[in-house]
Amino acid sequence: MQRNGASRSGNGKAKVKPRAPQWASWATGLTSVGVALAPWLSGSVSIGARPVAPTDTLGALLWSADMPLMGAFLVSLLVFAGFLIAAWNAEMWRLPVGRFLLPFAALVLWLGLSTVVMQSGWSGLLRTVQWLSGLMAVLSLTATARRGAAAWLATTPIIISASLLGLRGCAEYLINALGGVPNWRVFASFFNPNLLAGYFVMSAPLTLGLLLMAGRELPDARRRVYTALITVGLWLQLSALALTASRLGMLSMAGAAAAFMAWAGAWKLLSREFLMRIGLVGVLLVGVFWLSTPATQRLTPQAAAQDVHSGAFRVETWKGAARAALAHPLMGVGTGAFEWQYPRYAQVGYTRAAHNTYLELAAESGLPALLLLGAMGVGWLMRAAQRELPPDPARPAPRVADWRPMRVGILAAVVGAALHNAVDSDLQAFANLITLCALLGLGIALAPDGVFTIPIRAIERRGTALVITLTLTTALASFGLGEWYAHQGRYEMLVSHAPQAAELYSLARRFDASNPDYLMDSGELYYALGRRETALELMQRSVRLKPSPRNLYRLGLYYERENDLSKAREHYQAALERDPHSLPALLKLARLAQPDESQPRLTDAARRFYERMIEIQNSPYGRVRAIPEMVETAYGFAHLALARDYRAQGERMRAQGHYEAALQVFRNYREVTYPFNLAGRALGLYNAERERQILSAHLQTLSDLAALYEAQGRAQDAVALREEYSRLSSE
């Protein structure tokens, strides 16, 4: 006999709560497994087609995350399956409190509205669908995760996955250190070390919460084993975080740890055993810092002084993002359009992201989007941080577990995410977005009065869930399948298998017809096959969908090949309007303004373009860059052209200054960037024609400067330059 949701055991004394229905376990398990797999499958970000051999596609998907769109599809498929199971079976739906759910839903709608109004196309649609997937994860977990077995099922896979990812990061460092690269920064399956650090900043506090709860709640027979395993997992995560050498990541983790200790202390949860385990992890972590080169190098004052450009770059990028947000305060520049809209507001080097999620959101989707995100955060915190009384120890059996330690872990994890998103664009990686949404859902599900329950008729629940699931699944499947074939097509292009590449790109466009990168790549491929009208039509469509400086420049190149110089100049000029610092466009416009390249005397128009390039080189844009090791040879070409012009005018000293500046650029390129491009031949980083042009300019600079030195009586310097000339010529 059952009464009030409880049943009596055979002796008629002890009350036993009924087990959760099996469908709830399946829904929670599928959702949590999907979130746990996210860092392995979708830690990277989509930057267009990457070359992946057909035989390596599974490895690229399951290990290196070179297919982030397909990975996001597989992760979301598990989340949607959990959501659909819950909607199909739950007679009473548990929804997050309105002060959190309503701003979240409004934010997603605003992202979509910005996409439509500002016409950001494919990129905006992708970003909106990914946020919708995060919302589905929140709804699925709040509907099914309750205190008890369901909560363990929701958190354990995420922590196990993060610990294994930490082990992978440590192994990655050891392999590279033993291979002769002791200063390697670990990536694991993420786009860069900073995004990996952002993930561990969320997972490590959650693991701390599990460790604290296991030490308080598990019986003595199992406590030692489980707490030891959790301690090892925590150490692996923090060690991998240290090996990312992300100073701001470690600082964010320190903030999350401080929040954890503050909440745990205020709620009187700390114990001597827990503090001893944390101390042990700290001692082992000091050993990792002591033995690892990247962590120690990045934390020294000397390294901080050498890497001052990194902080300056971030600050100036934030200023540029703020300028973009203030220029378009209502709708932003378009959801997902930061990459190609930001350059006109930039004062420092190129970047794909704002390195600040909040400024990037405001720039892309307007200030209302940022306000909705803030309202969502405040609404969540008001419920997730709500105090509760601990269970009464005098209560008769069965004992009620105290879930406050896990709540503290979730709170600290979200605080860590909030801190790190202020210094990096973590949510660009789907793995970080879906993990944060899972934490938000768990925080609400485990909080007192975090959800409200409403009855929904079966036909309404199932019909709505089917429509949402099928719509999102179709969208994500098109992204993923298009990426699957485009990556293979890119590989076939690199190995000069044009017919096979054309077929694969055709399949990619069939699944993802509005992807501008696939259209541009297909256009270039058809141009190589001689189908020029089709090629130009595809490239024009790509530019209409994504009018980025790079796409405009690439289309201008093909008009130039067709000898349509007026259209080529028009597209180079359009690229320059989008990005006033576009060195490739400036170089092309300068050359088009100089009808006879063999003539050293420059036209007035050409001289203005070259002088503008030197002005950029000497400005903060040229000095403060995200990757200072990547040398811009366009500056060398500009110095060489001006040097020849001054030499022709008889101004030898000014000519010598530009020759020496050009030589420094070409030498730096040869030493730093050229080996990188050569090693990246398989990724399409090596352009043989471009390298020949750079080498030719380098040789001309050596020859002309040697002649000037000889005229000045500097025979020894001239001989050294001619020896360098001979060495480069033989290479």
Q: Residues 343-366: pLDDT tens digits?
A: 999 998 888 899 999 999 999 999
Q: Which residues of the chain register pLDDT less than 50? A: 1-18, 302-308
Q: What tens digit of pLDDT does each residue of 641-689 get?
A: 999 999 999 999 999 999 999 999 999 999 988 887 777 676 666 778 8
The three-state DSSP-derived secondary structure of 188-246 is CCCCCHHHHHHHHHHHHHHHHHHHHHHHHHCCHHHHHHHHHHHHHHHHHHHHHHHHCCC
What pLDDT score was predicted for residue 22? 86
The closest alpha carbon to 491, from 66, 56, 58, 50, belongs to: 50
Q: CA-based diameter of the chain, in Å? A: 110
In the DSSP assignment, the letter for residue 182 is T
The CA distances from residue 279 to 159, 235, 284, 286, 322, in Å, are 20, 11, 9, 11, 42
- Render pLDDT for 122-133 as a digit per residue (tens, 0 to 9): 999 999 999 999
Return the pLDDT at 291.
Answer: 77
- Looking at residue 295, its pLDDT comes to 63
pLDDT at residue number 296? 62
Distance CA 42, CA 67 (A): 7
Per-residue model confidence (pLDDT) at position 379: 96
Query: What percentage of the chain has pLDDT greater than the value 70?
Result: 93
- Torsions phi, psi for 211 (to 5 deg): -65, -45
Whether the CB-CB separation of 196 and 188 falls below 8 Å is answered with yes
pLDDT value for 350: 86
Q: What is the DSSP letter of 271?
A: -
Tell me, what's the pLDDT at 15?
41
Question: What's the pTM value of the predicted model, to 2 decimals?
Answer: 0.92
Domains, the chain, ranges and CATH? 31-89+458-486 (no CATH), 95-391+401-456 (no CATH), 515-590 (1.25.40.10), 593-731 (1.25.40)
What pLDDT, on the 0 to 100 scale, is given for residue 685?
66
Helices (H), 563-619: 565-578, 583-592, 604-617
